[in-house]
Amino acid sequence: MRDFTAGLQALDEAGLRRRRRTVDGPQGAVLDVDGRPLIAFASNDYLGLANHPAIADAAIHAIQRYGVGAGASHLISGHHAEHARLEDELAAFVGAERALYFSTGYMANTGIVPALAGRGDAVFSDALNHACLIDGARLSRADLHVYPHADMAALDAALRASPASHRLILSDAVFSMDGDIAPLHELAALAERHDALVLLDDAHGFGVLGPHGEGALAHAGVRSDRILYLGTLGKAAGVSGAFVAGRADIVEWLVQRARTYIFTTATPPMLAAAVRASLEVIRADDWRRDRLRAHARRLRDGLAGLPWRLLPSEGAIQPLVIGENTAALRVMASLLDRGCWAPAIRPPTVPAGTARLRITLSAAHTDLHVDTLVSALVDTAASATTAARAA
Ligand SMILES: *Cc1c(COP(=O)(O)O)cnc(C)c1O
C-alpha cells in the first residue's frame, strides 16, 4: 500500500497541502471563517446573489410545494416542470434554440465532451482550460491536442493538420485563474473554417458579462451555431448547477448520450426554482454589474505601485501573481492578519512559479471593503521589502 503519511508530508514540504476553512452563516462580503469575521475576496458569488432574499424565498416556496428530492434521474421519472421551465428561460435568455440543465458544471463538461467526441475524433483544448474540460477530454478517448493559451495560430495549424472527421474545440470563455477572455470571434471563425464545434465554458462570464448578464458571447457580440455555450449556476447566479445551450439537435443528442446527465438523480426542483428567481435578478439588476466593474477599477488603481503583477482583467477575477508557493502563502497569511481573505492558488491549479492570490470581487463588496484590501496589500508589500533589506 502507498505510504499516505509520507505523501502528505511531501505536500507540506512543497507548500502544496490545502486546508479547508469552515465558513458559518450566510454568504456575503464578510464571512464568519473558523469563528472570526473576514472580508472575503475568495468566493465566486460575483453578484452577491447567494443570499438574496427573493431567491431564497423561491427555494422555500418550491420546497413547500414540491418537497426536497427529485426522486429519480431525468430519463426515468425525475424530470420536473421546474426543470423544464428553467431550461426554456435559460435558452431564451442566452438566445439559443434549447438549453439543458445539469447538476453541476463539472458534471456537465465531463458528460458533454465524451458525448460529442470519441475514439478517432479530435479534441483541441486551450492549455489553461478548467480541470473538468480536461477530464472530459480524457474520458472521451478522442485524440487530444492542447494548444498554447489563446494561441489561435497554433489552433488553426492543429485543426488543419487533423485528419479526424469530428473536431471539437474546448475553451473557457473567461479563464478561471487568469481572468482574461478567450478570443471568441477567432474561435467561431476557426470552427467555421475547419467544420468544428466549440464547447465554450462561461462559468465566470454568465451573469457578469453582456448587457444584462447574458455572458461572454453577448459581451463580444459573437453568435454562431457552432458554439455550444455552457454557463454555471453556482457562481454569479448564486445557486447551483449548470446549463448548456445551443442548437436543438445537439442538445437532444446530449440528452441521449451525456452519461453525467443520464445516470444521476435529477437536481431537486427547488434549486431549479431558485435559479429561475436568480435569472430575474440577473436580468434586472444592471447596477450589480456596474458596481463590480467599478470595484475592479478601484482595486487596480490602488495596487498600481506594488511589486507583484496584477494580470490584465476588467472582471471579477483579479489575479495577483506572487511567484513561489511559500511566498504566496506568506502574503495570504499577512492579509488574514489584516482581516482579509484572498486564497493563494498553487500548482497544479496554475503553472509552477506562478502561485498567485486569486482576488475575487463581488457586487456585495462596498468601496470600503476594497480599500481595506488595498491597504492590507500595500502594508504587506512594505513589510516584505523591509524584511528583505534586514536579511
Ligand atoms: C467552477 C467551474 C466549473 C465547475 O462548475 P461547478 O458547477 O462548480 O461544478 C466549470 N468550469 C469552469 C471554468 C469553472 O470555473
State pLDDT tens for residues 21-31.
Answer: 999 999 999 99
Q: b/e string for 21-43 if b means 16 or more Cβ within 10 A?
A: eebeeebbbbbebeeeebbbbbb
Q: How many domains, in total, are found in the chain?
A: 2
The neighbouring-strand residues paired with 172 are 201
Residues of the chain with pLDDT > 70, as a percent, come to: 99
Q: Supply the pLDDT for residue 200.
A: 98
CA 351-215-322 angle, to 5 degrees, is: 25
Secondary structure class of 76 (helix, strand, coil): helix
Identify whether 192 is part of a domain: yes
Q: Cα(292)–Cα(298) distance, rounded to whole angstroms?
A: 10
Residue 214, pLDDT > 70, answer yes
Of 250, 284, 318, the last residue of a domain is 284
Q: Are residues 263 and 325 in the same domain?
A: no
- Tell me: the pLDDT tens digits for 236-268? 999 999 999 999 999 999 999 999 999 999 999
Q: 94 and 241: one domain?
A: yes
In terms of domains, do 70 and 172 share one?
yes
d(CA 358, CA 43): 10
**pLDDT beyond 90 at 357:** yes
Residue given cell 418537497 in the structure block: 67
Q: In this predicted structure, what is the pLDDT of residue 254?
A: 98
Residue 19 pLDDT grade (very low, low, confident, very high; cuts 50, 70, 90): confident
C-alpha cell at 281: 435578478
Residue 254 and residue 296 in one domain = no
Query: How large is the C-alpha radius of gyration of the chain?
Result: 22
Predicted confidence at residue 385, as pLDDT, reads: 75
Q: Ligand 1: which of 44, 102, 104, 106 to mutate, most ligand atoms within 8 Å of CB? A: 106
Which residue, judged by its Cα, is nearest atom 1 of ligand 1? 203
pLDDT surpasses 80 at 291:
yes
Tally of CA atoms within 13 A in the half-sphere of 336 that contains its CB: 15
Q: Which atom of ligand 1 is nearest to the CA of 202?
A: 13
DSSP code of residue 33: E
Amino acid at 328: A
Which residue's CA is the closest to the ligand 1 atom numbered 14? Answer: 203
What is the CATH classification number for the domain harbouring 25?
3.90.1150.10
For residue 334, indicate whether it is catalytic: no
- Catalytic site residue from 43, 125, 140, 176: 176
Report the nearest atom of ligand 1 relative to the CA of 242: 7
Minimal-distance CA residue to ligand 1 atom 10: 105
Kindly name the residue from 79, 204, 365, 369 that is annotated as catalytic. Answer: 204
The pLDDT, as a whole number, for residue 26 is: 95
Q: Are strands 227-232 and 36-40 parallel, antiparallel or unpaired?
A: unpaired
Query: What per-residue confidence (pLDDT) applies to 238?
Result: 98
Same domain for 300 and 199? no
Q: Give the mean model confidence (pLDDT) for residues 185-207.
A: 98
Q: Which of 45, 46, 130 to mutate to test the pocket of ligand 1 (most atoms within 8 A of CB)?
A: 130
* Residue 264 covered by a domain: yes
CATH assignment of the domain containing 212 = 3.40.640.10
Q: Is the peptide bond before 348 cis (omega within 30 degrees of 0)?
A: yes
Q: Is residue 128 part of a domain?
A: yes
Residue 238 and residue 258 share a domain: yes
Please tell me whether residues 158 and 265 are part of one structural domain: yes
Decide: residue 85, CB within 10 A, 0-12 exposed, 13-18 middle, 19+ buried: middle
Whether residue 176 lies in the annotated active site: yes
Helix axes 269-284, 81-94, angle to 10 degrees: 30
Residues with CB under 6 Å of ligand 1 are: 104-106, 130, 132, 172, 176, 201, 203-204, 232, 234, 242
pLDDT score recorded for residue 391: 65
Considering 234, 249, 284, which residue would you say is the last residue of a domain? 284
Q: Which residue range is the domain that position 384 belongs to? A: 16-47+286-390
Percent over 90 (pLDDT), the chain: 93
73 three-state secondary structure = strand
Least confident of 8-22, 117-131, 269-283, 362-376: 8-22
Query: Which residue among 284, 300, 317 closes a domain?
Result: 284
Q: According to the model, what pLDDT value does residue 386 have?
A: 76
